[in-house]
Amino acid sequence: MSTLFVNNLSTASGTNITLASGKQLDATAGTFVPPAGHIVQIVTHRNGDLPQQNSSSFTEISSNYRATITPKYSNSKILINATVNINPHCAANTIFLWKLMRSTAGGSFADLANVTDGNTGNRLPVSSGGSGRRLNGHDTNDQQPLQWHAIDTPNTTSAVTYSPYFKQETSGTNTVYFGHSSNNNSNWGNQSYFQATIMEIKV
């Protein structure tokens, strides 16, 4: 095996540098630097834990729902998408809120930096999640989706862990079932997974 030492590659003519058919460029022992806007890495997480919650303050839904990525570049953008179905038993007009929180290098969980337009007033920022209430005609089998979508800049190459948090309006709180119906039967009772995809984007 021969080793080729070179600082720059260019074409003798034209604009393309090609590999011979059946050959591949293996960069696993080093680092391939992608151009800005390209995906550096993707982490996926899927968990079938069946937590339930009844809280009027933001509380982690389940530690089993945590998903971790270790950025290769300190200035990368991190794109997080996650979803789980819920069966809420709070009162009909009870608002519930959900958001993502972040832990860096095993530290405490904290809010993601929220991008605002300066006109939010006193409203609670939940740019990584949302707000809602239970659907009309609700029963013990009904599921409705929660989705988390966030663009984060953690400014680190240490491990970054994201976890979903949830809370209900103080009046009318009751149990909310995540990833499963409260009704446990084989006809209309159902179970689903928490699923998350995290992408590192080169800047």
CATH number of the domain at 67, please.
Answer: 2.60.120.1340
Helix, coil or strand: residue 199: strand
Instruction: Kindly tell me if the per-residue pLDDT of 197 is higher than 70.
Output: yes
Distance (Å, whole) CA 110 – CA 125: 13
Q: Looking at residues 21-43, what average pLDDT do you find?
A: 89
174: left (phi over 0), alpha (psi -120 to 50) or beta: beta
Asked if residues 80 and 201 have their Cβ atoms less than 8 Å apart, the reply is: no
Domain residues for 43? 39-116+126-201
Which residue did the predictor score with more confidence, 8 or 104? 104
- Residue 9 is assigned to a structural domain of this protein: no
Query: What is the number of domains present in the chain?
Result: 1
- Residue 193 is assigned to a structural domain of this protein: yes
Q: How confident is the model at residue 115 (pLDDT cuts 50, 70, 90)?
A: low
Q: How confident is the model at residue 41 (pLDDT cuts 50, 70, 90)?
A: very high
- Residue 187 is assigned to a structural domain of this protein: yes
- Residue 143 is assigned to a structural domain of this protein: yes
Q: Which of 6-10, 43-47, 198-202 has the lowest mean pLDDT?
A: 6-10
- Residue 69 is assigned to a structural domain of this protein: yes
- Residue 60 is assigned to a structural domain of this protein: yes
pTM of the model: 0.89
Which residue did the predictor score with more confidence, 80 or 92? 80
**Strand (E) positions, 115-157?**
130-132, 144-152
- Residue 197 is assigned to a structural domain of this protein: yes
Strand partners, 79: 151, 199
- Residue 16 is assigned to a structural domain of this protein: no
Residue 4 pLDDT: 83
